[in-house]
Amino acid sequence: MERSSTATTERAPAGLPDNVSIRRWFAFYGLLVLAAGVPMALMIRQQAWTWHDWAHDTARTFAGTEAAVKLLVFGLYLSMCCTFLPLPTGWIVAGVATREAAVTGELWTTVLAVAAVGAAASTVANLNDYHIFTWLLRSRRIARVRTSRIYEAASAWFGRAPFFILVVFNVIPIPVDVVRMLATTYRYPRLPFAGANFIGRFLRYGVISFVTFWWNLGWIAVVSLLALAVVLGATRAARALARRALGRPGGGPKGRETQT
């Protein structure tokens, strides 16, 4: 028992240095939002459409809006979709890639534009996660996760190919919150973290854009991906509630583990 206690004490992080400026990053993010939001607002004011048009003739109004406005709205929305604001992403990628959206009117230029803007915006959102997780880990209580056996096993797995793992988990259409948390806890450098996120999301959004435009799926793709996001979100919420219920003292295995 004494040996276990001593080992835990020795592995506990000391000063938690991470060389990451949270304020500087979010100041940069705020400037980025302003740089995109101000011209977007000005261009929207110049549009001839009214709220009545949006409500009663959405498809035609959306198609007639300038491509730059669509891409700016698209980019701003995706830049906010992170673990702490878990908004669905697939539906808007498909929406901007529809032939009705007419971002460029051609297959490959549409795919490249949507994939590039979407990947850049999602990378910014994932960097928001990185900095928030870093700030949380500065708490000694939360940083103790680094001393757990689960983390040691996960970090050993992650350390074998961190860049590749981040790319893969950004391509596949499942939540990657845990991998982002793991990368931050592992203190994986921000530059390769951003690069892996960009490549993964570029591939993912490129596939969605290509399929939507090539098969002319239109709003079918948008509604289908939105429905999928709702189902996945409901499933995650149900699992979280189930874990909480089982984690109460005397409520299940987790409660017994905590007592031990």
In percent, the amount of the chain with pLDDT more than 90 equals 56
At residue 160, the 3 state secondary structure works out as helix
Number of neighbours of residue 27 by Cβ within 10 angstroms: 11
Which pLDDT value is given to residue 254? 44
Is residue 236 very low, low, confident or very high in pLDDT (cuts 50, 70, 90)?
confident
Query: What is the residue range of 136's domain?
Result: 2-8+18-220
Q: What is the pLDDT of residues 193-208, one digit of tens each?
A: 999 999 999 999 999 9
Token code pair at residue 79: 């830049």
Number of domains in the chain: 1
Does residue 111 fall inside a structural domain? Answer: yes
Contact at 8 Å (CB) between 246 and 253?
yes
Percent helix, percent strand, percent coil in the chain, to nearest 5: 75, 0, 25
Which pLDDT value is given to residue 5? 40
pTM of the predicted protein model? 0.82
Does residue 238 fall inside a structural domain? Answer: no
Amino acid at position 84, single letter? F
At residue 85, the 3 state secondary structure works out as strand
Distance of CA 129 to the CA centre of its chain: 8
Does residue 90 fall inside a structural domain? Answer: yes
| Range 143-148 average pLDDT | 90
Sign of CA dihedral 203, 59, 50, 65: positive
Does residue 253 fall inside a structural domain? Answer: no
Contact at 8 Å (CB) between 73 and 114?
no
Does residue 237 fall inside a structural domain? Answer: no
Number of neighbours of residue 60 by Cβ within 10 angstroms: 11
Does residue 121 fall inside a structural domain? Answer: yes
Tell me the pLDDT of the chain averaged across its residues.
84
Does residue 226 fall inside a structural domain? Answer: no
Q: Decide which of 12 and 106 is more confident.
A: 106
Does residue 250 fall inside a structural domain? Answer: no
Which pLDDT value is given to residue 151? 93
In percent, the amount of the chain with pLDDT more than 70 equals 87
Please tell me the least confidently modeled range out of 10-14, 73-77, 119-123, 244-248.
10-14
